[in-house]
C-alpha cells in the first residue's frame, strides 16, 4: 500500500501516577520513606490483616485537591473510595483502595509549552487517589522477595484526554506536570525513586480515500523516565503503522493491549490483552466513609496556590526580557525561580543575574547533585555581583570566578574581588602606558592594522589580548579597546 495516499495521525493519552509527599501512608500511620530495611515500615493495616480498619490521611486528600485546582479541574463535593480487586504477591489485601466512578477532581486542563514557543491545551479527564502496592524483588537466587514498605503509600493518578499527537508533546506534558506538582509541594516527583510513573495510551487514526481506520490502543506500562516515555511513544506509532501496512485494513478491530518497555532494546513487548473495568470487580469500600469536600476548606487550599511554573516562565520572558530557554531553566525549580525574583528585586540586571545563575550557579549545583538554593548564597550578594559587572568593576569571567568563590567560602563579592585581585583596571593613564608598551613590542601586528588588510581586525584583538595578559585579565577590555582605537587613529 502506498504511504503517499494516506494521512496518519498519532493519538496519545497519558496516565500518570505521582507519589504524594505525605509523612505517613494513605490509610495508616506508617512512615513514607524510601531506602529503609525491607518490611520495616508496616503495620496490621497496610499488611492487610483481617479485622483492621483504615483511617484516611487528610493531607493526601489536600495534596490531590491542590493538584486538581492547579490543573484547572472541578473538585467533587462528594467522593468515595472503591476496592479494585486483583491478586499479586505485593498486594496483601488482594485489592487496592482506589476511586472508581467518583474521582476527587475532573474536567480540567493543562497548558504545555511547545518547542515553537507556543503552548497547547491538553484536557485532564480525572485526578483520583489510591494506595500503592509493595515491591517484588527478584535480585538474587532462585526466588523472589516481597517488600511491603511501599504498600499503602498515597498515589495520585492523573488521566489526560487523548489530546497529544506526538512524543514531543507527551514529554512536554510530563515535564510540565512534574514542575507543577513540585511547585505546589504535592510531590517531589523524583523519577529515579519511582515517585512519578507514566503510562501512555497510543493509537493511530489513518485516513485513506476518505475512510478512517483506527488501530487498537496500546498502553505502555510503568515508564519511569522522560526518555523512555518519548521513545516508547515513537516506537508504538511506528510499530502500529508498519502493522497496518503489513496487514492492510484489518486494524480497525481488535482489543486494547498492554505492552511493556524493554529499555535495552528500545522496543515495546506485548504483555496481555487489556482487562476491562468489570474484570476488577470494583465496589465501594465498606470500611471507609465517603469524603465530603467542605467549601471553606477548599477555599483555604485555593488561597495557598502559588504562581504556577508556566505562568512564571512567561512572566520572566515578558517582564525581564529573558529568552524562552533561560526562563524555562530558571523556573524548573520553584526555589531557583524565587531566588532569581529576589535577586532582581535587590537591584541587579535580570539578564546578568540570569547568566550568573544558569552559566555558573546551576552548574555547581548539578555537580554537587543539589538544588541551587542549597549552595547557601544570598540573593542580594548575587545582585551585588551583577551590579559590579554592570558597572565594569569586574569583567564577566571574573564575575563567574567570584560566584564560584562565594559558594566555596560564603564571603560576599566585594570582599572576594579584592582578595582575589579581580577588580578591573579602568584607570586610563595606567592603561595608556600599557597600551603603548604593547604597541611598541608588537610591530608586526601594528603593520597589519595600518596596511588595512584582512588581517587587521584579528591583529587588533591580539593587541587587546596582550594588554589583558599583562594585567592578568584585570584590565577593562572596553577601556583598552578605546585607548587602542585612539592610539591607532581609528
The footprint of Mn ion (CB under 5 A) covers 157
User: Smallest gap, in angstroms, from Cβ of residue 369 to Mn ion?
Assistant: 30
- Residue 46's binding partner among Mn ion, Zn ion, none (Cβ under 5 to 8 angstroms by kind) is Zn ion
User: Smallest gap, in angstroms, from Cβ of residue 298 to Zn ion?
Assistant: 28
- Residue 43's binding partner among Mn ion, Zn ion, none (Cβ under 5 to 8 angstroms by kind) is Zn ion
Q: Hey, what's the cell of 11?
A: 493519538
**What is the Cα–Cα distance from 487 to 463, expressed in whole angstroms?**
12
Site residues for Zn ion per CB under 5 A? 28, 30, 43, 45-46
* Residues 105/74, Cβ–Cβ less than 8 Å: yes
User: Smallest gap, in angstroms, from Cβ of residue 199 to Mn ion?
Assistant: 8
Half-sphere exposure (Cβ direction) of 154: Cα atoms closer than 13 Å? 29
Please, which residue, 43 or 396, has the CB nearer to Zn ion? 43
* Residues 167/233, Cβ–Cβ less than 8 Å: yes
User: Smallest gap, in angstroms, from Cβ of residue 152 to Zn ion?
Assistant: 6
Query: How would you class 482 by CB atoms within 10 Å of its CB: exposed for 0-12, middle for 13-18, buried for 19 or more?
Result: middle
- Residue 441's binding partner among Zn ion, Mn ion, none (Cβ under 5 to 8 angstroms by kind) is none
Q: Hey, what's the cell of 360?
A: 555558573
Please, which residue, 157 or 176, has the CB nearer to Mn ion? 157
- Nearest residue to 13 via CA among 233, 319, 245, 320: 233
Please, which residue, 147 or 157, has the CB nearer to Mn ion? 157
- Residue 228's binding partner among Zn ion, Mn ion, none (Cβ under 5 to 8 angstroms by kind) is none
Please, which residue, 157 or 236, has the CB nearer to Mn ion? 157
Please, which residue, 15 or 90, has the CB nearer to Zn ion? 90
- Residue 157's binding partner among Zn ion, Mn ion, none (Cβ under 5 to 8 angstroms by kind) is Mn ion
Please name the residue that has the C-alpha cell 496500546: 218
User: Smallest gap, in angstroms, from Cβ of residue 135 to Zn ion?
Assistant: 15
Element (H, E) at 349: none
Please, which residue, 229 or 434, has the CB nearer to Mn ion? 229
Please name the residue that has the C-alpha cell 547557601: 376
User: Smallest gap, in angstroms, from Cβ of residue 131 to Mn ion?
Assistant: 10
Please, which residue, 157 or 326, has the CB nearer to Mn ion? 157
Please, which residue, 61 or 308, has the CB nearer to Mn ion? 61
- Residue 459's binding partner among Zn ion, Mn ion, none (Cβ under 5 to 8 angstroms by kind) is none
Alpha helices in 293-349 (DSSP H): 295-303, 309-320, 324-330, 334-345
- Residue 28's binding partner among Mn ion, Zn ion, none (Cβ under 5 to 8 angstroms by kind) is Zn ion
In the DSSP assignment, the letter for residue 48 is: T
Strands (E) in 116-228, as ranges, are 119-131, 135-137, 145-147, 154-160, 196-208, 211-214, 218-220
**What is the Cα–Cα distance from 43 to 397, expressed in whole angstroms?**
57
Please name the residue that has the C-alpha cell 480498619: 53
- Residue 91's binding partner among Mn ion, Zn ion, none (Cβ under 5 to 8 angstroms by kind) is none
Q: Hey, what's the cell of 229?
A: 516515555
Q: Hey, what's the cell of 455?
A: 588581517
Q: Which residues pair with 108 in a beta bridge?
A: 124
User: Smallest gap, in angstroms, from Cβ of residue 34 to Zn ion?
Assistant: 15
User: Smallest gap, in angstroms, from Cβ of residue 42 to Zn ion?
Assistant: 5
> How far does Cα 348 stand from its chain's mean position?
27
Number of H helices, E strands in the chain: 16, 17
- Residue 223's binding partner among Mn ion, Zn ion, none (Cβ under 5 to 8 angstroms by kind) is none
Which residues, other chains included, contact 209 with Cβ-Cβ below 8 Å and sequence gap of 6+?
5
CB-based closest residue to Mn ion:
157
Please, which residue, 32 or 129, has the CB nearer to Mn ion? 129
Please, which residue, 106 or 460, has the CB nearer to Mn ion? 106
User: Smallest gap, in angstroms, from Cβ of residue 265 to Mn ion?
Assistant: 27
**What is the Cα–Cα distance from 319 to 300, expressed in whole angstroms?**
29
User: Smallest gap, in angstroms, from Cβ of residue 275 to Mn ion?
Assistant: 13
**What is the Cα–Cα distance from 256 to 277, expressed in whole angstroms?**
12
- Residue 212's binding partner among Mn ion, Zn ion, none (Cβ under 5 to 8 angstroms by kind) is none
**What is the Cα–Cα distance from 361 to 357, expressed in whole angstroms?**
5
Amino acid at each position: 500500500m502506498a504511504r503517499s495516499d494516506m494521512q496518519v495521525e498519532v493519538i496519545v493519552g497519558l496516565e500518570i501516577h505521582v507519589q504524594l509527599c505525605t509523612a505517613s501512608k494513605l490509610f495508616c500511620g506508617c512512615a513514607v520513606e524510601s531506602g529503609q530495611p525491607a518490611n520495616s515500615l508496616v503495620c496490621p493495616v497496610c499488611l492487610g490483616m483481617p479485622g483492621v480498619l483504615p483511617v484516611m490521611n487528610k493531607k493526601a486528600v489536600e495534596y490531590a485537591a491542590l493538584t486538581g485546582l492547579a490543573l484547572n479541574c472541578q473538585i467533587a463535593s462528594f467522593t468515595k473510595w472503591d476496592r479494585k480487586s486483583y491478586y499479586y504477591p505485593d498486594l496483601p489485601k488482594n485489592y487496592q483502595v482506589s476511586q472508581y466512578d467518583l474521582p476527587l477532581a475532573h474536567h480540567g486542563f493543562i497548558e504545555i509549552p511547545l518547542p515553537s514557543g507556543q503552548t497547547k491545551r491538553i484536557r485532564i479527564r480525572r485526578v483520583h487517589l489510591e494506595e500503592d502496592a509493595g515491591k517484588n524483588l527478584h535480585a538474587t537466587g532462585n526466588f523472589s522477595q516481597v517488600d511491603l514498605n511501599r504498600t499503602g503509600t498515597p498515589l495520585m493518578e492523573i488521566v489526560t484526554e487523548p489530546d497529544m499527537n506526538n512524543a514531543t508533546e507527551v514529554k512536554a506534558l510530563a515535564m510540565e506536570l512534574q514542575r507543577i506538582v513540585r511547585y505546589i509541594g504535592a510531590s517531589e516527583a523524583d523519577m529515579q525513586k519511582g515517585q512519578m510513573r507514566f503510562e501512555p495510551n497510543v493509537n493511530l487514526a489513518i485516513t485513506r480515500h476518505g475512510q478512517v481506520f483506527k488501530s487498537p490502543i496500546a498502553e505502555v506500562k510503568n515508564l519511569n523516565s522522560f526518555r523512555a516515555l518519548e521513545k516508547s511513544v515513537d516506537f508504538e506509532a511506528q510499530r502500529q503503522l508498519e502493522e497496518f501496512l503489513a496487514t492492510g485494513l484489518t486494524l480497525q478491530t481488535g482489543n486494547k493491549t498492554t505492552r511493556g518497555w524493554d529499555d535495552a532494546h528500545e522496543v515495546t513487548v506485548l504483555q496481555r490483552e487489556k482487562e476491562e473495568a468489570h474484570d476488577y470487580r470494583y465496589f465501594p469500600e465498606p470500611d471507609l466513609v465517603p469524603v465530603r469536600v467542605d467549601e471553606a476548606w477548599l477555599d483555604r487550599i485555593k488561597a495557598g496556590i502559588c504562581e504556577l511554573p508556566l505562568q512564571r516562565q512567561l512572566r520572566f520572558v515578558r517582564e525581564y526580557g529573558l529568552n524562552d530557554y533561560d526562563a524555562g531553566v530558571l523556573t524548573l525549580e520553584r526555589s531557583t525561580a524565587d531566588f532569581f525574583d529576589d535577586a532582581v528585586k535587590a537591584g541587579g540586571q535580570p539578564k546578568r543575574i540570569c547568566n550568573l545563575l544558569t552559566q555558573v550557579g546551576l552548574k555547581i549545583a548539578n555537580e554537587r547533585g543539589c538544588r541551587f538554593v542549597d549552595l547557601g548564597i544570598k540573593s542580594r550578594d548575587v545582585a551585588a555581583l551583577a551590579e559590579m559587572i554592570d558597572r565594569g568593576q569586574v569583567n564577566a569571567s571574573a564575575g563567574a570566578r567570584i560566584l564560584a568563590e562565594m559558594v566555596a567560602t560564603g564571603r560576599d563579592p566585594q570582599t572576594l574581588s579584592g582578595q582575589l585581585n579581580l577588580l578591573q583596571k579602568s584607570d586610563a593613564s595606567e592603561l595608556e602606558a600599557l597600551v603603548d608598551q604593547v604597541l611598541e613590542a608588537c610591530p608586526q601586528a601594528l603593520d597589519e592594522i595600518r596596511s588595512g588588510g584582512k588581517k587587521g581586525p584579528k591583529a587588533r584583538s591580539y593587541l587587546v589580548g596582550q594588554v589583558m595578559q599583562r594585567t592578568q585579565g584585570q584590565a577593562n577590555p572596553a577601556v583598552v579597546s578605546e585607548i587602542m582605537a585612539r592610539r591607532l587613529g581609528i
